[in-house]
Amino acid sequence: MVDTGRLPHALLIEGPSGSGKFALARATAQYLHCSARTADGEPCGVCPACLQHQGFNHIDTVFSFPVYKKGGSSALSSDFQRDFCDFVSESPFMDYGQWLERIADANAQPRIYVEEGEQLIRRLGFTAHGARYKVVLFWLPERMMEQTANKLLKLIEEPADDTRLILVSNDPRGILPTIYSRTQRITVSRYTDREIQEYLMRARGVTDGAAAEASRLAEGDMNRALGLLAHTSQPDSIRLDMFIQLMRLAYMRDIVALRTWGNNLAASGREAMTAFFDYAARMLRENYIYALRVPQLNCMTPEEEQFSSRFSRFVNERNIEDLMRVMDEARVDVAANANGKIVCFDVAIKMILLLKR
Ligand SMILES: [Zn+2]
């Protein structure tokens, strides 16, 4: 579309969650601005415009996405710019649940507010700075308030020549019909199992078997595959058992039994150790949240929750950061080839001290 000058004024990229649509939208904007496009249809990656895009600071490119402020008062995307860039950088697959976790509290309903529409119209009223085109990338237009949509309608109906809107939607049925009907649409389909498996192996260093298993369960959703991966190679039930043992023995200060516990974990191999420390960090966080009594933010199996109902009182604001750090450092040490038995025993001893805080 860009090559033939047919990029529409309002392009809607629709398709299931976790299918890389926003990455495609960003690449389109970058390609549009790139001053040295390659012959095979890629942005060059090294011109000033490309570098600005990669650093989220291209002056003629605006991100607009659902945000939330405590008490439900209105907010602007620009207030959350830093959070959004970090979020996109960490994973290009745009897991809405993770976005919610990052910016909101339990019952939040992030929206694209009407003030956002007003600000966009003001910004787009100026001519483009460095580039030929001003681009607005909307993430999840289905979360746009009706008044916002009404404000933006004019932009879509009588677009300025130098403005392009790219909308990225997981649920196009939720977009107001007045907006939807005025967009030109392309559909991105879910990833195949094979694509997910290859990405996990190549980009995330996952083993063949674990990648195959995660891709089968993910049903084309990369976010789900990545979520599953944190818990592969051993069922969580084994890790929960190890976690419960660790915390019980640390509570009883049973040094001899803790040493045996550490030796057993070390014997399971580096991958299993890494997975355990990941799991332990997640459980500690879940227990901290559990103690805060915000069930909507908890994500535990019934077995995990049963243990947490008794254990969570030991995890509090005085020790949570250090507890998480211990697990994190252990993971790094294991990756750096440290002696497994020593790492595990060290974690066990630190638990004794930290649980007393
Ligand atoms: Zn370039």
CATH code: domain of residue 258: 1.20.272
- The two tokens of residue 78 are 């620009």
The CA 44 to ligand 1 mean position distance, Å, reads 4
pLDDT beyond 80 at 155: yes
The CA 34 to ligand 1 mean position distance, Å, reads 4
Radius of gyration of the chain (CA): 24
The pLDDT score that the predictor gives to residue 299 is 74
In this structure, is residue 5 part of a structural domain?
A: no
Find out whether 167 and 183 touch, Cβ atoms under 8 Å: yes
pLDDT beyond 70 at 116: yes
Same domain, 207 and 180: no
In this structure, is residue 164 part of a structural domain?
A: yes
Same domain, 19 and 80: yes
- Global confidence as pTM: 0.65
The CA 33 to ligand 1 mean position distance, Å, reads 7
The pLDDT score that the predictor gives to residue 219 is 82
Q: Mean per-residue pLDDT for 327-348?
A: 91
pLDDT tier at 344, thresholds 50, 70, 90: very high
Same domain, 261 and 149: no
Cα distances (angstroms) measured from residue 267 to each of 164, 232, 244, 250, 344? 57, 17, 18, 20, 10
The CA 200 to ligand 1 mean position distance, Å, reads 28
Any idea which residue has 């020790």 for tokens?
A: 319
The pLDDT score that the predictor gives to residue 231 is 55
The CA 85 to ligand 1 mean position distance, Å, reads 20
Find out whether 250 and 289 touch, Cβ atoms under 8 Å: no
Same domain, 82 and 109: yes
Higher-pLDDT residue of 217 and 353 is 353
Higher-pLDDT residue of 341 and 205 is 341
Higher-pLDDT residue of 238 and 14 is 14
The residue range of the domain holding 263 is 236-355
In this structure, is residue 334 part of a structural domain?
A: yes
- CA dist., res. 138 & res. 123, Å (int): 15
The CA 61 to ligand 1 mean position distance, Å, reads 15
- The domain total for the chain is 3
- CA dist., res. 243 & res. 42, Å (int): 48
In this structure, is residue 338 part of a structural domain?
A: yes
In this structure, is residue 71 part of a structural domain?
A: yes
Task: Bin 12: left if φ > 0, else alpha if -120 < ψ < 50, else beta.
Answer: beta
Going along the chain, which residue ranges are E strands?
10-14, 61-64, 134-139, 163-169, 184-187
Q: Which of 204, 229, 254 is the last residue of a domain?
A: 229
The pLDDT score that the predictor gives to residue 130 is 67
In this structure, is residue 3 part of a structural domain?
A: no
Q: Which of 129, 159, 187 is the last residue of a domain?
A: 187
Same domain, 217 and 271: no
Q: Mean per-residue pLDDT for 129-147?
A: 89
The pLDDT score that the predictor gives to residue 72 is 62
The CA 132 to ligand 1 mean position distance, Å, reads 14
Same domain, 77 and 124: yes
Q: Which of 229, 252, 286 is the last residue of a domain?
A: 229
The pLDDT score that the predictor gives to residue 107 is 57
In this structure, is residue 268 part of a structural domain?
A: yes
**Three-state secondary structure call for residue 316:** coil
Dihedral sign for Cα atoms in the order 299, 301, 305, 307 = negative
Same domain, 111 and 141: yes
Same domain, 167 and 35: yes
Higher-pLDDT residue of 322 and 132 is 322
pLDDT beyond 50 at 233: no
The pLDDT score that the predictor gives to residue 283 is 92
Q: Which residues of 218-245 are buried (b: 16+ CB within 10 A; e: fewer)?
A: bebbbbbbbbbbebbbbebeebbebbbb
The pLDDT score that the predictor gives to residue 128 is 64
In this structure, is residue 315 part of a structural domain?
A: yes
The pLDDT score that the predictor gives to residue 46 is 95
The pLDDT score that the predictor gives to residue 127 is 67
The pLDDT score that the predictor gives to residue 205 is 83
The CA 310 to ligand 1 mean position distance, Å, reads 56
The pLDDT score that the predictor gives to residue 288 is 94
Same domain, 172 and 308: no
The CA 54 to ligand 1 mean position distance, Å, reads 10
Same domain, 18 and 133: yes
The pLDDT score that the predictor gives to residue 337 is 82
Same domain, 19 and 137: yes
**Domain of 124: which CATH number?**
3.40.50.300
In this structure, the dihedral spanned by the alpha carbons of residues 92, 112, 145 and 29, taken in order and rounded to 10 degrees, is -60
The pLDDT score that the predictor gives to residue 105 is 64
pLDDT beyond 80 at 212: yes
Find out whether 271 and 209 touch, Cβ atoms under 8 Å: no
> What percent of the chain has a predicted confidence (pLDDT) above 70?
95
- The two tokens of residue 277 are 């420390």
Same domain, 287 and 344: yes
The CA 35 to ligand 1 mean position distance, Å, reads 5
pLDDT beyond 90 at 210: no
Q: Mean per-residue pLDDT for 92-109?
A: 80
The CA 29 to ligand 1 mean position distance, Å, reads 11
The pLDDT score that the predictor gives to residue 213 is 80
Higher-pLDDT residue of 348 and 271 is 348
